[in-house]
Structure 1
Amino acid sequence: MFHKEGHKIIITTLIIVVGCILLADNLIAITWLRTVIMIVLLAFLILILQFFRNPKRNTVPNNKQVVSPVDGKVVVIEEVFEKEYFKEKRLQVSVFMSPLNVHVTRYPIAGNVIFSKYHPGKYLVAWHPKASEENERTTVVVENETYGKVLHRQIAGALARRIVNYAKLNDKASQGSESGFIKFGSRVDLFLPLDTNIKVVLNQKVRGGESIIAEING
């Protein structure tokens, strides 16, 4: 199953790859060179198909827990001052996605979307310290009565040139359902209450909609 954001790119890539293979088969007489070109083109098509895959995830709804919004690796767990919305200290957990990861962004908690904003910006590498504040990004805050407010921020990277955000103000968010998509590698930051019990460690691999990032104490 492929994500809707990739349908046009997949079709375009397929047409180009098939066209190039037919041209190579008719115009290149050297067998080994023709074979190499065909392998490279097919490998490129497979990479595109892998990037836009959208596997079904089994989210177990729990208002006391925060699930990972994306697939990837935990690269940041620290207390920071969140400047845009909370304007106070929060626990930040960041998940980095490579181009090989699934790039669907999912709601970490269920509740009401009380803030959603897009910011144009730079395309620094996703792990750059200033990427969270200077890169193209979207900020979404979801609130429920049990957990409170959780902010997740999609951040473009050096390869990601388009962020798609589905979250709209006053939407009803379902935990684990799609809130957006980032094309070609980046990261997502979570900003959680200070009394949150973090359930992951640095460099841990997580799965969007399934891995538990944190839970509320008590």
Structure 2
Amino acid sequence: MFHKEGYKIMTVTAIVLIAINIVSYNLIETYWVKFLILVVSILFFLLIIQFFRNPARRTVHNNEHIVSPVDGKVVVIEEVYEKEYFKDKRLQISIFMSPINVHVTRHPVGGKVKFSKYHPGKFLVAWHPKSSEENERTTVVVENEVVGEVLYRQIAGALAKRIVNYAKEGTEVVQGSDSGFIKFGSRVDVFLPLGTKVNVGINDKVKGGVSVIADVAS
């Protein structure tokens, strides 16, 4: 199963690669060169389609849980000052996605979208300390009746040239449902109320819509 954001890119890539191989077949006489072009074309196309895969995920809905919005590795867990929306201290959990990870972004909690904003910006590497504030990014805040307001931020990386965000202010969203897509690598920051219990550690691998990264402390 593939994400709808990838259909156009996959189709164009397939057409271009087929054209290249037709031209090489007719113009190049050396067999091993034609074969090499074919192999490279197949490998490149497989790389593209794996990037846009969209595996089905079964989210166990729980208003006390915050699930990971993306697949990847936890790279930051710290208390920070969030200055765009909350303008106070929050608990930040950042998840880095490599090019081989699934890049679908999912709602970490269910509730009402209170804020959704796109910011144009740079394309620093995703682990750069200033990427959260200077890179192309989107900020979404969902209000959950138990956890409160949860902010998550899609951040473009050095390879990512487009962020897709489906969250619209005023709409009700379901935990684990599709909220967007980041094309070709990046990271997502999640900002939680202080006192939220963290269930992951640095370098832990998480699955979007499945892994519970935090919950309301009892």
CA positional deviation for 1:99: 1.0
Q: Does 1:67 align with 2:67?
A: yes
Map residues 190-205 of structure 1 onto 2, 5 A cutoff: 190-205=190-205
**Corresponding letter in the other structure for 2:35:** T
Query: TM-score scaled by structure 1?
Result: 0.98
Q: Does 1:180 align with 2:180?
A: yes
The DSSP-based 3-state class of the residue aligned with 2:55 is coil
Q: Does 1:20 align with 2:27?
A: no
CA positional deviation for 1:165: 0.6
- Equivalent-residue separation in structure 1 for 2:33 and 2:88 (angstroms): 60
CA positional deviation for 1:25: 1.7
**Corresponding letter in the other structure for 1:203:** N
CA positional deviation for 1:192: 0.6
- Equivalent-residue separation in structure 2 for 1:33 and 1:152 (angstroms): 48
**Corresponding letter in the other structure for 1:191:** F
Map residues 158-173 of structure 1 onto 2, 5 A cutoff: 158-173=158-173
Residues 159-210 of structure 1: CA distance to partner in whole angstroms, max 9, x if unpaired? 1011111000011010000111100000000001110110011111111000
Match of 2:147 in 1: 147
Q: Does 1:5 align with 2:5?
A: yes
Query: TM-score scaled by structure 2?
Result: 0.98
- Equivalent-residue separation in structure 1 for 2:175 and 2:13 (angstroms): 33
User: More deviation in 25-34 or 100-109?
Assistant: 25-34
**Corresponding letter in the other structure for 1:41:** S
The DSSP-based 3-state class of the residue aligned with 2:129 is coil
**Corresponding letter in the other structure for 1:202:** I
CA positional deviation for 1:152: 0.3
The DSSP-based 3-state class of the residue aligned with 1:61 is coil
In structure 1, the gaps of 5 or more residues are: none
- Equivalent-residue separation in structure 1 for 2:116 and 2:50 (angstroms): 29
Map residues 74-93 of structure 1 onto 2, 5 A cutoff: 74-93=74-93
CA positional deviation for 1:50: 0.4
**Corresponding letter in the other structure for 2:41:** L
- Equivalent-residue separation in structure 1 for 2:157 and 2:119 (angstroms): 14
Residues 49-97 of structure 1: CA distance to partner in whole angstroms, max 9, x if unpaired? 0011111001000000000000111111111110101111111000001
State the superposition RMSD in angstroms.
0.7
- Equivalent-residue separation in structure 2 for 1:151 and 1:178 (angstroms): 16
In structure 2, the gaps of 5 or more residues are: none
Q: What fraction of aligned residue pairs are identical, expressed as a percent?
A: 66
**Corresponding letter in the other structure for 1:79:** E
**Corresponding letter in the other structure for 2:60:** V
Q: Give the length in aligned residue pairs.
A: 218
Map residues 110-121 of structure 1 onto 2, 5 A cutoff: 110-121=110-121
Match of 1:132 in 2: 132
- Equivalent-residue separation in structure 2 for 1:128 and 1:18 (angstroms): 38
Residues 10-34 of structure 1: CA distance to partner in whole angstroms, max 9, x if unpaired? 1000111111112222221112111
